[in-house]
Chains A and B, each alone.
Chain A
């Protein structure tokens, strides 16, 4: 067991949308940009720390923003 002694569990992240009591909206691009990579891909739940429900609404918001040309599908 000694070899695990240096292992530290990373601190659990809290869902930003639950914490601030906000709903993801496709118009708030600055907020949505926090949840995509430089290439424009959505970050997974294990990276964002979002709860399942808010990750779902976030995904819809990002997809809507892409549809209207506010966010890229693929960034160069």
Chain B
């Protein structure tokens, strides 16, 4: 079990319903693999620093979750195939990792 943080840049033309269905899909993926979501942070629309796939802005979402490291490859595969996600950034949270060592 490791703690991860993923930042998603999502197509800004998506409606709220579609955005929620996309988030639910990811949340389900995490929960189905016995992971847990610790934090969901919606930044909303932001301008991109440069054009990505012809988009000038994107909806940003930050997800913090704990999941087994074997699940990450599967998760990345799903996200890469997801066309609504313009770009993603997956990072390992080191602060939580050191806490796990103490246990």
Q: What total of A-B pairs shows CB separation below 8 Å?
A: 33
* Chain B interface SS verdict (over half): strand
Which stretch of A5-13, A14-22, A46-54, A65-73 is in the interface? A65-73
Q: Given the complex, which residues of A lie within 8 Å of B91, measured CB to CB?
A: 26, 64
The answer to whether the Cβ of B40 comes within 8 Å of any Cβ in the partner chain is no
Q: Given the complex, which residues of A lie within 8 Å of B58, measured CB to CB?
A: 69
For chain B, which range describes its interface: under 10, 10 to 19, 20 to 34, or 35 or more residues? 10 to 19
The answer to whether the Cβ of B49 comes within 8 Å of any Cβ in the partner chain is yes
B50 and A64 form a contact (CB under 8 A)? no
* Chain A interface SS verdict (over half): loop
For chain A, which range describes its interface: under 10, 10 to 19, 20 to 34, or 35 or more residues? 10 to 19
Q: Given the complex, which residues of A lie within 8 Å of B1, measured CB to CB?
A: none
Interface residues, chain A, with chain B CB atoms under 8 Å away: 26-27, 40, 64, 66-75
Could you jot down 22 A-B contacts, CB within 8 Å? A26-B7, A27-B7, A27-B62, A40-B49, A64-B89, A67-B89, A68-B7, A68-B9, A68-B87, A68-B88, A68-B89, A69-B9, A69-B48, A69-B50, A69-B52, A69-B58, A69-B86, A70-B49, A71-B49, A72-B50, A74-B50, A75-B49
